Amino acid sequence: MQPLQFTGRRGGGLADDAAALLFLEGHAVAAGHEPLKLRLADTSLSSPAFAGERASAHRWVVWAIPTWIFTIAFFHRPAPGVITKELMQDFAAGGTMVGLLSAAYFYTYAGLMIPAGVLVDAFGVRRVVSIGGAVMGAGALAMAMAPTEAMLFAGRLAVGAGAAVTFVGALKIAATWFAPSEFGTLAALTATAGALGALFATAPLAWLVALAGWRGAFAVVGIATFAGVVLCWAVVRDRPDGARPSDAPAEAARARLAVAYRGLLAVAGNRHTWPPFFAFFFLYAATGNLMLWGIPYLRDSYALGRSDAAIYAAATSIAVLGAGPLAGWLSDRWGQRRRAFIALALGLGITWVVFVATLGTLPLAGVAAVLFMLGVFSACFVLVWPLGRDVNPAPLAGVAVAVVNFGGFLGAAVTQGPLGALLDAFWDGGVAQGARVYPLAAYRAAFVVCTVFAVASFVSGLFLRETPPAAAER
């Protein structure tokens, strides 16, 4: 196997963070090979056949199909927040069940992050993303038809498992069908597509639920996923015609996975890895729970319908959509990612305090403004990846990003169930149309915990280590 090198710039923007994820989830699992880097110039990008393909629109279609499937995967993360009342009605359940159901996605997704990259590298995007999309689509349909909680949870777990291969699949296409100079743009567009998925899980999902019911809505999503799978199998090809195949044969997958886990042990042994890990853990614990319980809060406390509540809740997703790339870009220009994170995390903590202090008293316009600012300050999440990456050796850059990224998924996974249980503990017995109605005190208790999470993220940021730009280029 030839040495793998990565010759791209190591900035702190959202595009470069996505590139670092590809470095882990695709090729960086070969981190045990000398000289332990990935060089895009050694891939099929330099082949004569690729030069003709690069000028055509076909490559954009090839990239757009797995990116569409990734958008659906991201949609599923906050989707339970829109249908909490319907889930309670159909399954005679409370907040604990809803929280655990939401968290189930993150358990399988996080557990399959590294194996997903190895599978894509070994068997190709067409096969792996088609299979992953089919699993995700089947999971959505299982949820739509679920007569029991067991089938509902099985469907949610399947959705998370299938979703795990979608992001790396889209980025792998970007790396093999586009020039190295275009990869940053494609990575940013892929990440933006994911953020749009989260936005689709607010008002658009609420409108679909109003039209077809929550089961019908998830059936539509499942069918749309399978449509993407059919297109992926029919249209997507792992590389342009005439390009050299990857030097990662299927039989090498097990050895490459073992190397990746050895890299994980090395990164985990570095004490500087853990401040960004916990910063993202607590940050996503707060944000993930807000996305889950924000709509029910607006419905219960402001007597809003599902669609109206979802419109106001969308303010957070809209803010993240714009502020995330901007935060990365500004931190690149400033050259002080640690200070940028601390400043944004401080703003996030203060905004959470304002949110809790004014809970149930602000007019809806004020609530929307606060939710928007929570999204703006939550954009500091894009900085934890380069901060975790730069404190580790360059050969382990992708593994470091994965460890930090895992922290965020873990934060959502282990906190959403307990916060649902906390809401249940404060429930005063109120029911409307078969679904629990939580008093303001219940939401205050849950959001106070989220505020503590946000403050803990800020405190974790104080222990971050800033890496000089020159060192980050090593």
Residues 298 and 289: their CA atoms lie apart, in Å, by 14
pLDDT, residue 58, reads 87
**pLDDT band, residue 320 (cuts 50/70/90):** confident
pLDDT, residue 335, reads 72
pLDDT, residue 242, reads 55
Burial tier of 212 (Cβ tally within 10 Å: 0-12, 13-18, 19+):
middle
Residue-wise pLDDT for 236-253, tens only, equals: 998 887 555 555 455 556
- For the chain, the 3-state helix, strand and coil shares in percent, each to the nearest 5, are 80, 0, 20
Going from the C-alpha of 76 to that of each of 151, 158, 171, 203, 314, the distances in angstroms are 17, 11, 20, 14, 15
Residue-wise pLDDT for 143-179, tens only, equals: 999 999 999 999 999 999 999 999 889 988 988 898 8
pTM reported for the whole predicted model: 0.84
Residue 456 forms beta bridges with which residues? Answer: none
Mind listing the domains of the chain with CATH numbers?
Answer: 14-256+271-469 (1.20.1250.20)
Which of 42-56, 252-266, 291-305 is the least confident region? 42-56
Which of 51-55, 70-74, 215-219, 258-262 is the least confident region? 51-55
pLDDT, residue 327, reads 78
**pLDDT band, residue 113 (cuts 50/70/90):** confident
Q: HEC profile for 26-55?
A: HHHHHCCCCCCCCCHHHCHHHCHHHHHHHC
> Is the pLDDT reported for residue 473 higher than 70?
no
pLDDT, residue 263, reads 80
Residue-wise pLDDT for 419-465, tens only, equals: 999 999 999 999 998 899 999 999 999 999 999 999 999 999 999 99
Residues 236 and 226: their CA atoms lie apart, in Å, by 14
Q: Which residue has the higher pLDDT, 310 or 389?
A: 310
Which residue blocks in 201-305 are alpha helix, DSSP H? Answer: 203-235, 253-268, 274-302
Residues 179 and 40: their CA atoms lie apart, in Å, by 9
Q: Which amino acid is at 358?
A: T
